Amino acid sequence: MRQVILAEPGKIELKDVPVPVPSEGEVVVKVNTALTCGTDLKAYLRGHKLIPMPGPFGHEYSGTIAKAGKGSGNFKEGDRVMGVHSAPCMECGYCRKGLHNLCEKIMEKKALGAFAEYLLLPAHVVQLNLFHKPDGLSFEEAALLEPLSCIVHPYGKLRFDETETALVIGAGPIGLMHIAYLKMKGIKVIVSDFFDDRLSSASKIGAYRTTPPHDVEEAIKETTGNLGVDLVIECTGQQGVWEKAVNYVRRGGTIVLFGGCPAGINVTYDTHRLHYDELTLTGSFHFTPQDVKTAYQALTEKIIELSSLISGEFPLEDIENAFTLLIEGKGIKYALKP
Ligand SMILES: [Zn+2]
Ligand SMILES: [Zn+2]
C-alpha cells in the first residue's frame, strides 16, 4: 500500500509498505478521507514532539474496515467507521481519577498514519473510541470527529447557564469549530482575527459579530454593554494574545487558553484582575472518551454543521499541494483521498 512518510521537516516521501495485519482486538481501516490539521502542518514545517520522524503521520480519518482482528467487538469487515487516534489506558492514576485526557499513556500507542491507504487501529482505541458512521454523514465530515472532540473538551466544565456571550480570538480551523459549537449552544460569539477571509469564514459558520483585533474592545462594549464577555477562547497560541485575553472577560468570567504556545513561554497577569474579579483561567488538552461521544453525537445528529471547513480534496500523492496552500493561508482543512 502507499503511505506518506514525513522524512524530515519540509520533506515528504510516498512509500510502498505492506498492508498492516490486525492482531487481537485491532482493526485495519481502508482510509476514505484523511484531513489535514494544524498539528500536521506544524510537523511538516518544523517537526513536532508527538510525531516521530521519519515516520507516518495524519490522525483525522474515516473509512471502511478492511480487516478485523479476533475480539474487535461489534466491528466487522465492510463496516463504515469514524474514530480518533488515541485512547486512555483506564488504569493509571489520572485515569482512576476520571481525568482521561491527562492519562499518562495517552500518547504512547496512538494510530499515526492516516495519510495512507490503510491504517491500523490499536485494540484500546477500537474498544473506546471507534464508532460506526451513519450513511447520512459524509466521510469528510465524519473525519472531523477527532478535532471536534478536542473542541468539546473544555466545555464539559463550563456553566452554560451563565454564558450568553463569548469572544473567540483567532479564526483558523480550531477557532471556527469553537464558533460553530458555541453557536450550537445558543451563545453570541464575537470573533477577532487579522485576516478578512478568516472573518468571513467565521460569519459563515455562525459568528454573531466579527472584528479586526484593534476594534475588539469596541465590539465587546456594543454587544455586552460595559460588562465584558462571559467567556474568552484563545486560539492563537501567542504570548501577547494570552496576556490580553483576560482584558475582555467580565468579572467571574472564564478564559480558555486553547492555543498552545511554544515550550518555555511565560506570561504575566495583573493579580488584582484575577483575584478581585474572580477570573477562571484554564488550559485544554486533548479529550476524554466522553468528549468523543459528545462530538460523535453532535456530528451524527447533525446539530453542528462543519462541512464548510473542508476547502477541497487531493489524492494522496498531492499532499504537498495541500500543505502549500495552507502555508499560503489558503483554505481551512483539506481532505486527502487515498
Ligand atoms: Zn488534528
Ligand atoms: Zn491512563
Distance in Å, CA 167 to ligand 1 centroid: 22
All structural domains of the chain with their residue ranges: 2-144+306-337, 153-283
Q: How far is the CA of 215 from the centre of ligand 1 (A)?
A: 31
Ligand 1 centre distance from Cα of residue 59 (Å):
6
Residue 115: pLDDT over 90: yes
- Report how far ligand 2's centroid is from the alpha carbon of 160 (Å): 29
Quick one: pLDDT band at residue 109, thresholds 50, 70, 90? Answer: confident
Query: Closest ligand to 105 CA?
Result: 2
Residue with grid cell 462530538, as numbered in its chain: 295
Cα of 39 vs centre of ligand 1, distance in Å, is: 6
What CATH number should be reported for the domain whose range is 153-283?
3.40.50.720
Distance, CA of 273 to CA of 238 (rounded, Å): 20
Q: Report pLDDT for 229.
A: 98
Over residues 64-93, the mean pLDDT reads 96
Residue 49's pLDDT is 85
On the question of pLDDT at 263 being above 90, the answer is no
Range 89-107 average pLDDT: 96
Q: Is the pLDDT of residue 91 over 90?
A: yes
What is the pLDDT at residue 182?
A: 97
Instruction: Specify the pLDDT at position 157.
Output: 86
Q: Inform me whether the pLDDT recorded for 116 exceeds 90.
A: yes
CA–CA dist 142, 68 (Å, integer): 20
Mean pLDDT for the stretch of residues 20-28: 97
Proximal ligand: closest to the CA of 99: 2
Q: What is the mean pLDDT of residues 51-65?
A: 96
Task: Compute the distance from residue 85 Cα to the ligand 1 centre, in Å.
Answer: 9
- Of how many residues is the chain composed? 338
Q: Which ligand is nearest to the CA of 102?
A: 2
Burial (CB count within 10 angstroms: exposed 0-12, middle 13-18, buried 19+), residue 78: exposed
Strand order in the sheet with 55-56: 11-16, 2-8, 55-56
CA–centroid distance, 62 to ligand 1, in Å, is 13
Assess whether pLDDT exceeds 90 at residue 159: no
In this predicted structure, what is the pLDDT of residue 172?
Answer: 94
pTM (2 d.p.) = 0.96
Residue 18 Cα to ligand 2 middle (Å): 31
Q: What pLDDT was estimated at residue 167?
A: 98
Report which residue type is found at 45. L
Residue with cell 474498544: 127
Ligand nearest to the CA of 88: 2
Name the band, by pLDDT with cuts 50, 70 and 90, for residue 72: very high
pLDDT tens figures, 270-279: 999 999 999 9
How many angstroms does the Cα of residue 23 sit away from the middle of ligand 2? 22
* Residue scoring higher pLDDT (107 or 1): 1
Q: Report which of 6, 37, 8, 13 is spatially closest to residue 336, judged by C-alpha positions.
A: 37
- Among 91, 109, 108, 111, which Cα is nearest to 99's? 91
State residue 328's pLDDT score. Answer: 92
Q: What is the mean pLDDT of the chain?
A: 96
Query: Of the bound ligands, which one is closest to the alpha carbon of residue 112?
Result: 1
Ligand nearest to the CA of 36: 1
How many whole angstroms from 278 Cα to the centroid of ligand 1? Answer: 33
Rounded distance from Cα 100 to ligand 2 centre (Å): 6
Burial class (CB in 10 A: 0-12, 13-18, 19+), 196: exposed
Nearest C-alpha neighbor of 296 from the set 66, 134, 89: 134
Among 313, 337, 324, 331, which residue's Cα sits nearest to residue 4? 337
Distance 96 CA to ligand 2 centre (A): 7
Distance 223 CA to ligand 1 centre (A): 32
Give, as residue ranges, everything with CB less than 5 Å from ion ligand 1. Answer: 37, 147
Span 283-306, mean pLDDT? 96
The bound ligand whose nearest atom lies closest to the alpha carbon of 104 is 2
* Minimum mean pLDDT range among 111-120, 156-165, 171-180, 320-329: 156-165
- Ligand in closest contact with the CA of 106: 2
Percent of the chain with pLDDT over 70: 100
pLDDT for 75 beyond 90:
yes
- 150 CA distance to ligand 1 centroid (A)? 8
- Of 3.40.630.30, 3.40.50.300, 3.40.640.10, 3.90.180.10, the CATH number of 2-144+306-337 is 3.90.180.10
Per-residue model confidence as pLDDT tens digits over 182-209: 999 999 999 999 999 999 999 999 999 9
99 Cα: distance to centroid of ligand 2 (angstroms): 8
Share of the chain above pLDDT 90, in %: 93
The distance from CA 312 to its chain's CA centroid, rounded to whole angstroms, is 18
